[in-house]
Amino acid sequence: MNLMGKSVFGGIAIGKMSVYHKKDSLVKRTKITDTQAEIERFKQARDKAKEQLAGLYAKAVKEVGELNAAIFEVHQMMLDDLDYEESITNIIETQNVNAEFAVANTGDNFAQMFAAMDNDYMKERSADVKDISNRVISILSGAQHGGISGDEPVILLADDLAPSETVQLDKSMILSFVTKFGSTNSHTAILARTMNIPALIGVDITEDMDGKMGIVDGFAGKLIVDPTEEELAKYRAKKNEEDDKKRLLQELKGKENVTLDGRKINLYANIGGVGDVAAVLANDAGGIGLFRSEFLYLESDDYPTEDAQFTAYKTVAENMAGKKVIIRTLDIGADKQVDYFNMDKEENPAMGYRAIRICLDRKEIFKTQLRAIYRASYYGTISIMFPMIISLSEVKQIKEIIAEVKKELTEEGIPFQDCEIGIMIETPAAVMISDILAKEVDFFSIGTNDLTQYTLAIDRQNPKLDSIYDSHHEAILRMLQMVVDNGHKGGAWVGICGELGADTTLTETFLRMGFDELSVSPSMILKVRDVIRNTRLD
Ligand code: PEP
Ligand code: MG
């Protein structure tokens, strides 16, 4: 059976399909009679969780180094903790309840206990104990949750995936994303590009596809359910061809981003977290042009502490070994909702309380992040950029807060370096006053995803409007040129970090416009380099 959808990233995936269900956060309490059998069921699930974690540890060591992988070892040790086990077995025995309930209950109690401690290190263990408990619960409830509880990587089918759900998935177990809803410009689509895996949206998936074989053709926007032997053979050959092409691109590693007539441009990568740095290095990006720091907040159950953020930023800066890392400050709101921010429901979230508006309003959150970034600046080359700017007054306020942060760190004797300061140009207002803003900052990075949304008045999340969401619109192209010219006149360098930056049909146009930098998904670096190296401008 062939189902058509829309491709958000090319490539071929062949494998078992698994239907993802939204996690039911309420674990049901059921009465059981055989408590010993229930305890045994818990122990088996715990051992299975430890096995999974050992696998994740080994993979993470290879990808991000021992230091960053250590968390998976800590999780294994926590599962072995005797108090944790005793609490679970006690609940099962004394209350005659199912293992899922006992694990959830214990996880909540321990998490509360850790959160109440005075010591920052112990406080952070609160999220960890919840994490290990959730892992055991999803093993216990097996296929009930669907998704990726098995051992082999799957083609993940879902109605839709929110950014907060996507960050929780074990990426090593996903061959492809296929969703019913969602739009080409959603953050899940961006994540698929970062992961370099084929992804489709708008596919009419059904429950009975769970467990069946599937083929995702990310070039044709097609999902084949229960393929024939012939189809499998054809697509295996196509996949091999694709792999060969990827290998050829590998030859461009270490080469310059330079046109045939000598014009150079910086090619950086977009990331969502520490885990993406491996892909940045593997694809030989010259730096990180957009670190979407809000994913640190989305992954967390509570405001990430200054120390937790510092560790993440420092790890990225150190792993990039002196190459530029541009950290974008918190950009939540709109499609990126975080429960613990307790934000009111809004009629128009994309035009509402989001990004820099929240940061300037809730200064304590902003200052915690800026302190963490400045502390990390000592360990590499960090630049900071601010999202959703619409006015000079915002930039002035930001600079005042930065001055306060630097003063405090100096008084506390904490070392830091000066960071380049930039802003995202992603509102028409910022474009129109870019001559004024350029005098205030070191660089501009154009967020074409939001700039297209706000200029064309088209919700980037609305699949119905995907066909008219046109980043090639003459209005956008004129704006890009205007920003480059105003930026350069005011002494600021100018780049693009929205998805349009990776559109190779425009690479030559961007070079002619005079852009200094393009920041794209790690998986697109070598493709864009290939196009640059085959372009002649004169
Ligand atoms: C953009 O708007 O183009 C951008 C890069 O930011 P985000 O996609 O995270 O909103
Ligand atoms: Mg944006």
Q: How many domains does the chain have?
A: 3
Return the DSSP state at 466: G
Question: Which residue, 175, 177, 178, is CA-closest to 203?
Answer: 178
Distance 18 CA to ligand 2 centre (A): 31
Q: Quick one: 362 and 495 in the same domain?
A: yes
Tens-place pLDDT, residues 33-61: 999 999 999 999 999 989 988 887 887 67
Do 226 and 359 fall within a single domain? Answer: no
Q: Is 499 inside a domain boundary?
A: yes
Ligand having the closest approach to the CA of 184: 1
> In terms of domains, do 399 and 324 share one?
yes
Q: What is the pLDDT of residues 144-171, one digit of tens each?
A: 444 666 678 999 999 888 766 776 677 7
- pLDDT number for residue 145: 43
**Is 274 found in the same domain as 219?**
no
359 among known catalytic residues: no
Residue 27 within any structural domain of the chain: no
Residue 29 lies in a domain: no
User: Are 14 and 71 members of one domain?
Assistant: no
Q: Mapping DSSP to helix (H, G, I), strand (E, B) and coil, where does residue 422 land? A: strand
Q: How do residues 193-228 score in pLDDT, each as one tens digit? A: 877 889 999 999 999 999 999 999 999 999 999 999
Please indicate, yes or no, whether residues 208 and 231 belong to a single structural domain of this protein. yes
Lowest mean pLDDT among 81-85, 309-313, 337-341, 419-423: 337-341
Q: Closest-lying ligand to the alpha carbon of 445?
A: 1
Ligand 1 residue neighbourhood (C-beta within 6 Å): 290, 292, 331, 426, 447-450, 497-498
Q: Which residue has the CA at smallest separation from atom 8 of ligand 1? A: 449
Q: Which helix (H) or strand (E) holds 518?
A: strand 517-520
Ligand nearest to the CA of 335: 1
28 lies in a domain? Answer: no
CA distance 266 to 501: 12
55-103 pLDDT, tens digit per residue, is 878 876 765 667 667 777 888 999 999 999 999 999 999 999 999 999 9
Nearest C-alpha to atom 3 of ligand 1 is from which residue?
Answer: 447
Together in a domain, 241 and 267: no
12-19 vs 213-217, strand pairing mode: antiparallel
Give the pair of three-digit tokens for residue 288: 């990180």
- pLDDT at residue 143, as a whole number: 45
Residue 113 CB coordination number (10 Å): 14
CA of 102 to the centre of ligand 1 (A): 42
Report the pLDDT averaged over residues 380-385.
Answer: 97
CA of 125 to the centre of ligand 2 (A): 32
Mean residue pLDDT across the chain: 91
- Percent of the chain whose predicted confidence (pLDDT) is above 70: 95
Kind of pairing between the strands at 420-425 and 174-179: unpaired
* Catalytic-role residue among 145, 187, 359, 419: 187
Question: Which of 87, 118, 140 is the C-terminal boundary of a domain?
Answer: 140
Domain C-terminal end among 207, 224, 247: 247
DSSP assignment of 271-340: ESSGGGHHHHHHTT-SEEEEEETHHHHHT-SSPPPHHHHHHHHHHHHHHTTTSEEEEEP---BTTB--GG
User: Could you tell which of 290, 291, 295, 426 is best to mutate to test the pocket of ligand 1, judged by most ligand atoms within 8 Å of the CB?
Assistant: 426
Indicate whether 312 and 439 sit together in one domain: yes
- What CA–CA distances, in Å, run from 437 to 212, 318, 429, 433, 441? 55, 31, 11, 6, 7
Specify the CATH number for the domain of residue 336: 3.20.20.60
CATH number of the domain encompassing residue 111: 1.10.274.10
Q: What is the pLDDT of residues 346-371, one digit of tens each?
A: 999 999 999 999 999 999 999 999 99
349 alpha carbon – ligand 1 mean position (Å): 15
Query: Taking the model in full, what pTM does it have?
Result: 0.73
Which of 121, 140, 159 is the last residue before a domain boundary?
140
CATH label of the domain that carries residue 174: 3.50.30.10
**Residues linked to residue 329 through DSSP beta bridges, in sequence order:** none
Name the residue of 190, 193, 328, 424 to mutate for ligand 1: max ligand atoms within 8 A of Cβ: 424
Residues 498 and 393 occupy one common structural domain: yes
pLDDT in tens, 243-254: 888 888 889 999
Q: Report residue 126 as tokens.
A: 């609160």
Residue in 191, 276, 354, 450 to alter for ligand 1 test, most ligand atoms within 8 A of Cβ:
450
Work out the percent of the chain whose per-residue pLDDT is above 90.
71
Task: Identify the three-state secondary structure at position 387.
Answer: coil
Q: Which residue has a Cα nearest atom 4 of ligand 1?
A: 447
Q: Residue 108 Cα, ligand 1 centroid: separation in angstroms?
A: 35
In the reported structure, the alpha carbon of residue 447 is separated from the centroid of ligand 2 by a whole-number distance in angstroms of 5
Domain hosting 82: range is 35-140
179 close to 165: Cβ distance less than 8 angstroms: no
| pLDDT value of residue 164 | 65
C-alpha span between 174 and 191 (Å, rounded):
12
CB atoms within 10 A of CB 82: 7
Range among 38-52, 105-119, 160-174, 436-450 with highest mean pLDDT value:
436-450
